[in-house]
Amino acid sequence: MTLETWLLAFALATIYGAGFHFWQGGSARRLALYLLAGWLGFTIGHFAGDALDIHLLQIGGMNAFAATVGSLIALAAARMLVTNDTPASQK
């Protein structure tokens, strides 16, 4: 991957994390968590897409589709890990 592709990947992962934080809200700590989850999920998704031979939306050397799916999964997992949304009947 070229430097431009790495920069685009970093920008997309940052946008996903920041957008998720904007949608879900929270403190600066949550923003940091969502950014890290977005970056990590994007990276894992990209390499998983390469390993599984998924080339649905290829931008240069980047598997944008698989990376986006990985980022969204990581963001959802981070959200589930930090929230304490238990139903009222279980309290």
Over the stretch 18-29, which tens digit does the pLDDT of each residue have? 999 999 988 999
For residue 88, pLDDT over 70 is answered with no
Percent of the chain with pLDDT over 70: 92
pLDDT tier, 55 (very low <50, low <70, confident <90, very high otherwise): confident
The pTM (predicted TM-score) of the whole model is 0.86
Residue 87 lies in a domain: no
Cα separation, 14 vs 35, whole angstroms? 6
Number of domains composing the chain? 1
Residue 44 lies in a domain: yes
Residue 91 lies in a domain: no
Cα separation, 54 vs 3, whole angstroms? 22
DSSP codes of every residue in 67-79: HHHHHHHHHHHHH
